[in-house]
Amino acid sequence: MSDLFGNEPWWVVILKALCVFVVLVVFTLFNIWFERRVVARMQHRVGPNVWGPFGLLQSLADGVKLALKEEIFPKHAHKVVYFVAPVIATIPAFLAWAVIPFGPEVTIPFTDTRTPLQLTDMPVAVLYILAITSIGVYGIVLGGWASGSTYALLGGVRSSAQMISYEVAMGLSLVAVFIYAGSMSTSEIVAAQAADGWFALPLLPSFIIYMIAMVGETNRAPFDLPEAEGELVGGFHTEYSSLKFALFFLAEYINMVTVSALATTLFLGGWRAPWGISQIDGANEGYWPVLWFLGKTLLFVFLFIWLRGSLPRMRYDQFMKFGWKVLIPVSLAWIVVVCVMRRLITDGDLDPTMILIIAGVVVAALLVVQFIPERRAPEVAETEHDAFAGGFPVPPMPGREPSPSGASSSRTAEKEA
């Protein structure tokens, strides 16, 4: 961790914060265009191609349109919370980038001041990211509650349950990185990968679990259950429009870039050049590392888009079962394996090649387990079911058939009453 953090002039801190903000806004506009173009190509369409060269200004036009639309406030909404909820969801998405390293120490152009391409760092930087991004859940659930709509409330509850569940799996997948790197500082984790190689290889199960959890954490397809149009109309933001809806939209895309940048930092060497390019003199010096960092981040963004254009939406019970009964137990078991491996490496009893073999065996075992059929529930003996016994129709449970006689007797009793 650089000694410059906390000792830089105020104008340098403001300049770096402004650069991070501009990069995130421009990256978001590009990602919206990029997603629409890639999905259009997958579906043999053209996509945005009118506003600007190659349609690059389409995202900007959509943003201006959203900002200028008429503001509405539902009659039964809690005005203050309804207005503040999108802000609570958006601000943590920006704050999480305070500890993401973009590159090494550089000299600011036209000055003699040297500064690391990172706003700040701390010994528990990754925990800071997990803590600050979890605050965004409050914005979502409060937005659903304050709308005064049943559909929005259900969407907010489902979204908060989903994000909290997959935050647990995501946090457990990062524990292996902490153990392997010996630090929770983002800059030190990047430096550790310069000596030991990218952590995505020796910690392959953690990498896979993190990639699954980051899709569920950001409410993206096929895990976009809070926005299931056929069930909840539009999720927690059903009653939002204009600039407030744009803030929720902005928070989703910035969170998508945030988890992609975190995956790049923790598993793919951060801002360091890929193997082959890193052997070139100067590849990891100056402002070139920013290009490698953004390229790796864009690779994960493409993964998000690829999944959206390829996979159907899961059922809510399947999704929650997968998170609590598969990802979390596997993460706990893998943490124990990593602890044992790290101790053996420290004692000199384990070769790095053996680590890759163990990781490959674990991943293969996990894939085999997924194909084992589930045990079927015992069949229930067929019994008659009176759908109108409680005064209103109730569908029968599996293995039971409705009783026409029971239904008619119930209706007769209701008429006589």
Q: Does residue 391 surpass a pLDDT of 70? A: no
Instruction: Give the residue-averaged pLDDT of 218-230.
Output: 73
The CB-based long-range contact list for 355-359 (8 Å cut-off, 24+ gap) reads 355/202, 356/201, 356/202, 359/201, 359/202, 359/203, 359/204, 359/205
d(CA 213, CA 323): 8
Between 389 and 413, the higher pLDDT residue: 389
Q: Does residue 217 surpass a pLDDT of 60? A: yes
Q: What is the dihedral of CA 302, 322, 154, 312, to 10 degrees?
A: 50
Q: Does residue 402 surpass a pLDDT of 50? A: yes
The pLDDT assigned to 97 comes to 92
The pLDDT assigned to 407 comes to 46
Instruction: Give the residue-averaged pLDDT of 95-124.
Output: 89
The pLDDT assigned to 230 comes to 58
Please, are residues 403 and 386 in contact by the beta-carbon 8 Å criterion? yes
Q: Does residue 371 surpass a pLDDT of 90? A: no
Diameter of the chain by CA atoms? 94
Peptide bond before residue 222 is cis, with ω within 30 degrees of 0: yes
Span of 85-89, 104-108, 273-277 with lowest mean pLDDT:
273-277
Instruction: Give the residue-averaged pLDDT of 285-294.
Output: 90
Q: Which of the four pLDDT bands, split at 50, 70 and 90, describes residue 261?
A: very high
Q: Does residue 166 surpass a pLDDT of 70? A: yes
The pLDDT assigned to 412 comes to 47
pLDDT digits (tens, 9 = 90+) for 12-55: 999 999 999 999 999 999 999 999 999 999 988 988 888 888 88
The pLDDT assigned to 410 comes to 46
Instruction: Give the residue-averaged pLDDT of 292-296.
Output: 93
Instruction: Give the residue-averaged pLDDT of 393-416.
Output: 55
The pLDDT assigned to 317 comes to 81
Q: Does residue 360 surpass a pLDDT of 80? A: no
The pLDDT assigned to 265 comes to 93
Q: Which of the four pLDDT bands, split at 50, 70 and 90, describes residue 295?
A: very high
The pLDDT assigned to 196 comes to 75
Instruction: Give the residue-averaged pLDDT of 190-213.
Output: 88
Phi-psi group of 218: left, alpha or beta (phi > 0 → left; psi -120 to 50 → alpha; rest → beta):
alpha
Summary mean pLDDT of the chain: 82
| HEC sequence for the chain | CCCCCCCCCHHHHHHHHHHHHHHHHHHHHHHHHHHHHHHHHHCCCCCCCCCCHHHCCHHHHHHHHHHHCCCCCCCCCCHHHHHHHHHHHHHHHHHHHHHCCCCCEEECCCCCCEEECCCCCCCCHHHHHHHHHHCHHHHHHHHHHHCCCHHHHHHHHHHHHHHHHHHHHHHHHHHHHHHHHCCCCHHHHHHHHHHHCCCCCCCHHHHHHHHHHHHHHCCCCCCCHHHCHHHHCCHHHCCCCHHHHHHHHHHHHHHHHHHHHHHHHHHCCCCCCCCCCCCCCCCCCCCHHHHHHHHHHHHHHHHHHHHHHHCCCCCHHHHHHHHHHHHHHHHHHHHHHHHHHHHHHHHCCCCHHHHHHHHHHHHHHHHHHHCCCCCCCCCCCCCEECCCCCCCCCCCCCCCEECHHHHHHHHHHHHHC
pLDDT digits (tens, 9 = 90+) for 297-351: 999 999 999 998 888 888 878 888 888 888 899 899 888 888 887 877 777 666 6
| HEC sequence for 236-303 | HHCCCCHHHHHHHHHHHHHHHHHHHHHHHHHHCCCCCCCCCCCCCCCCCCCCHHHHHHHHHHHHHHHH
pLDDT-above-70 percentage for the chain: 85
Please, are residues 1 and 188 in contact by the beta-carbon 8 Å criterion? yes
The CB-based long-range contact list for 379-384 (8 Å cut-off, 24+ gap) reads none
